Amino acid sequence: MQIWLDGISFVMFIGGGAFVLIGGVGVLRMPDLYTRMHAASLTDTMGTLLILGGVIVQAGFSLAAIKLVAIALFLLVTGPTATYALANAALLSGVRPDAQTLDGESAS
């Protein structure tokens, strides 16, 4: 039984680490501010969830597991709020997104 639990959290840690790494690579590869944010959000969704999930499996049914779930929820609420603050500040200070609208014309 224990070996299975260890296996599950092993896979989750590897997966979470991979998503954090991919997020970092994406931040470097993307061309401008707004597209970089998309890559960064890989890190704070799947990265966080998988790593915390792995820790939760290790903690088992205990108070610690509930606390970890709460930490995951807090991160999932505060993460996008911070992203919105950053994106909105960039927009208001005049960083125009280099993007098209759905009708095909340029937005900027």
Partner 1 sequence: MRVWLTLALWFATWLLWSGLYKPLLINLGVLSCLLTLLIARRMGFFGPDVFSLHLTGRLVPFWGWLSKELVKSNIEVARIVLSPRMIISPTVVNLQALPKGRVSQAILGNAITLTPGTVTIDDYEGQLIVHCLTCDGARTLQAGEMNRRAAALER
Phi first, then psi, for residue 106 (nearest 5°) are -80, 140
Residues that bind partner 1 (CB under 8 A): 19, 22-23, 25-26, 29-32, 34-35, 37-39, 41-42, 45-46, 49, 63, 67, 76-77, 79-81, 83-84, 87-88, 90-91, 97-102, 107
* Beta carbon of residue 1, minimum distance to partner 1 (angstroms, whole number): 26
Let me know: does 50 contact 15? Beta carbons within 8 Å.
Answer: yes
Distance in angstroms (rounded) separating the CA atoms of residues 38 and 43: 10
Q: Of 21, 16, 18, 13, which is closest to residue 40 (Cα–Cα)?
A: 21
Closest CB to partner 1 among 2 and 106? 106
* Beta carbon of residue 77, minimum distance to partner 1 (angstroms, whole number): 7
* Beta carbon of residue 2, minimum distance to partner 1 (angstroms, whole number): 26
Distance in angstroms (rounded) separating the CA atoms of residues 82 and 77: 9
Closest CB to partner 1 among 3 and 105? 105
Q: Of 40, 44, 53, which is closest to residue 14 (Cα–Cα)?
A: 53
- Size (the chain), residues: 108
* Beta carbon of residue 16, minimum distance to partner 1 (angstroms, whole number): 11
Closest CB to partner 1 among 1 and 31? 31
